């Protein structure tokens, strides 16, 4: 535990220092930039993102957190990183382990450029973790975490959750389809579970212009939040430069999340909240439950 505490403190201090140097030395006067670094502690567990959970991170009005799932992807992730770098914006990438294994150079670039690296299983099972069985789900999570740790930092072997000693204990369920047992297991390992407050819905094929209009309309309605994109889609890569400029034009500010000790400050959902995730999964259950566990 002492090693983990020192690692998280060092990571937070490094991220803050790197953020300050980048803002001072590299950012053009008209760049969107990253307005602040938010330390997010997950001791005892954390579950945030209003699409799935009845609370989210304590963002101010017109603050956003940018997150990207499913990468890295050779054809699109470099362009995503280029767009973020031009605007001096830091994001969080939830990586699939097998993709990290295949493209460690892109994972290391994400780390080198100051982004936060989270975890998103090894195989992203089509059935989601909810319908593959608890043992298979834990194995997929652990193998994915180990693969990402090795690609990003050069260490990490499959083992139990404590032995992995994660640099960034942030996890996102594929399809946001969790189970109580997996959530409790992750909480006992001090791993934070991230949903999202806004979906760009970029798993649907659309034009960059359609994605931009949809995302901005949802953001303007919500006023703040954790936004989900996928750095594996061509339309998202093509849309992102315009999206970042539009954030600047409309007065939004980007917050960069990094791991730290303690417990993150959160905001409770408004009265009448319900889980959109559960509504969708309930509708898809007959199809998902028949797919079974992936071969690892």
pLDDT tens digit at each of 296 positions of the chain: 555 555 555 555 555 555 555 554 578 889 999 999 999 999 999 999 999 999 999 999 999 999 999 999 999 999 999 999 999 999 999 999 999 999 999 999 999 999 999 999 999 999 899 999 999 999 999 999 999 999 999 987 767 888 889 999 999 999 999 999 999 999 999 999 999 999 999 999 999 999 999 999 999 999 999 999 999 999 999 999 999 999 999 999 999 999 999 999 999 999 999 999 999 998 887 777 766 656 55
Number of domains into which the chain is organized: 1
Residue 181 inside a domain? The answer is: yes
Residue 16 inside a domain? The answer is: no
> For 231-267, what is the HEC assignment?
CCCHHHHHHHHHHHHHHHHCCCEEEEEEEECCECCEE
Residue 17 inside a domain? The answer is: no
End-to-end C-alpha distance for the chain, whole angstroms: 30
Residue 275 inside a domain? The answer is: no
Separation of alpha carbons 239 and 250, rounded Å = 16
Residue 169 inside a domain? The answer is: yes
Residue 67 inside a domain? The answer is: yes
CATH number of the domain that residue 170 is part of: 3.20.20.370
Q: 236 with 80: CB under 8 angstroms?
A: yes
Q: 151 with 100: CB under 8 angstroms?
A: yes
Whole domain around residue 107: which residue ranges? Answer: 41-269
Report the pLDDT value the prediction gives residue 260, as an integer from 0 to 100.
97
Q: 95 with 120: CB under 8 angstroms?
A: yes
Residue 295 inside a domain? The answer is: no
């Amino acid at each position: 535990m002492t090693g983990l505490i020192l690692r998280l403190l060092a990571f937070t201090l490094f991220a803050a220092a790197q953020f300050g140097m980048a803002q001072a030395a590299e950012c053009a006067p008209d760049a969107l930039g990253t307005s602040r670094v938010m330390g997010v502690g997950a001791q005892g567990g954390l579950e945030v993102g209003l699409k799935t959970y009845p609370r989210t991170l304590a963002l101010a009005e017109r603050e956003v957190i940018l997150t990207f799932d499913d990468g890295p992807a050779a054809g699109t992730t470099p362009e995503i990183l280029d767009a973020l770098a031009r605007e001096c914006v830091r994001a969080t990438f939830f990586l699939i382990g097998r993709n990290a294994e295949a493209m460690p150079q892109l994972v290391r670039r994400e780390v080198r450029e100051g982004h936060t690296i989270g975890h998103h299983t090894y195989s992203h099972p089509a059935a989601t973790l909810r319908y593959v069985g608890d043992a298979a789900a834990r194995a997929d999570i652990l193998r994915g975490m180990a693969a990402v740790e090795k690609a990003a930092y050069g260490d990490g072997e499959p083992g139990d959750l404590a032995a992995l000693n994660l640099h960034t204990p942030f996890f996102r369920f594929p399809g946001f389809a969790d189970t109580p047992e997996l959530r409790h297991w992750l909480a006992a390992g001090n791993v934070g579970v991230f949903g999202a407050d806004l979906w760009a819905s970029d798993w649907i094929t659309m034009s960059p212009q359609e994605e931009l209009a949809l995302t901005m309309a949802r953001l303007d309605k919500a006023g703040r939040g954790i936004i989900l994109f996928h750095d594996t889609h061509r339309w998202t890569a093509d849309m992102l430069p315009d999206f970042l400029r539009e954030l600047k034009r409309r007065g939004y500010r980007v917050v960069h999340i990094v791991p730290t000790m303690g417990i993150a400050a959160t905001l409770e959902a408004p009265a009448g909240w319900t889980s959109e995730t559960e509504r969708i999964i309930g509708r898809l259950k007959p199809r998902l439950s028949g797919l079974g566990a992936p071969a690892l």
